[in-house]
């Protein structure tokens, strides 16, 4: 096929598309509206859909209880305040019942259900909350520093539900 015939074919396809839009404007308009509507629904549902993150903490041997006590004292109140503000829907924590191998070991997991992904990733300034909740900022900062010094590892894992019954 020569360049001229390929070029003519392209013009032919474009002309047919234009004629279809002119001949059936309502059908094209409905399809465009449906596409726009489904895109808007997808973005709305993302804003309305909770965003879940699991936070894993692996303390140095013998420090798990101390870590949990410091977490409850210095971090949990901040999370509860964010729940009051509507940023967080739910917070809960778990700990393993038995020991595992060292490479897979974690001592404490906090699961936070954020209002949505946007809230989970915004640059929320918690400084005013911290000053309100912890007037003795020196002690607060020292204890938070220690809380992270006694950790061997920490990782965040955003998770999503998986429907096993879906086809």
CATH number at residue 98: 3.30.70.100
pLDDT over 90 (residue 25): no
The number of folded domains in the chain is 2
Same domain, 125 and 59: yes
Nearest partner of 77 among 113, 131, 139, judged by Cα: 131
Q: What b/e string do you get for 139-159 counting C-beta neighbours within 10 Å, with b at 16 or more?
A: ebeebbeebeebeeeeeeeee
Say if 165 falls within a structural domain: no
Q: Report the residue count for the chain.
A: 167
**Helix axes of 25-48 and 3-23: crossing angle, nearest 10 degrees:** 80
Sequence-ordered alpha helix ranges (H) in the chain: 3-23, 25-48, 64-70, 76-84, 117-121, 127-133, 137-149
Same domain, 146 and 76: yes
114 SS3 class: strand
List pLDDT tens digits, range 43-87: 556 678 999 999 999 999 999 999 999 999 999 999 999 999 999
Say if 97 falls within a structural domain: yes
Nearest partner of 115 among 138, 86, 153, 144, judged by Cα: 86
Of all residues in the chain, the percent with pLDDT exceeding 70 is 72
List pLDDT tens digits, range 135-158: 999 999 999 999 999 999 999 999
Structure pTM?
0.71
Same domain, 64 and 117: yes
Tell me how far apart the alpha carbons of residues 126 and 77 are, in angstroms, rounded to a whole number.
12
Do residues 65 and 107 touch, judged by C-beta distance below 8 A? no
């Amino acid at each position: 096929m020569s360049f001229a015939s390929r070029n003519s074919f392209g013009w032919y396809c474009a002309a047919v598309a234009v004629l279809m839009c002119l001949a059936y404007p309502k059908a094209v308009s409905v399809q465009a509206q449906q596409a726009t509507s489904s895109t808007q629904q997808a973005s709305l549902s993302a804003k309305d859909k909770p965003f879940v993150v699991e936070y894993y903490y692996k303390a140095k041997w013998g420090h798990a209880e101390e870590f949990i006590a410091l977490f409850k004292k210095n971090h949990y109140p901040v999370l509860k305040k964010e729940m009051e503000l509507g940023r967080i829907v739910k917070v809960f924590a778990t700990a393993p019942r038995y020991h595992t191998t060292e490479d897979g070991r974690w001592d404490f997991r906090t699961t936070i259900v954020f209002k949505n992904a946007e809230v989970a990733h915004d640059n929320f300034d918690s400084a005013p909350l911290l000053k309100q909740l912890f007037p003795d900022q020196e002690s607060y900062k020292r204890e938070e520093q220690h809380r992270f010094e006694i950790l061997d590892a920490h990782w965040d894992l955003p998770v999503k539900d998986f429907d096993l019954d879906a086809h």
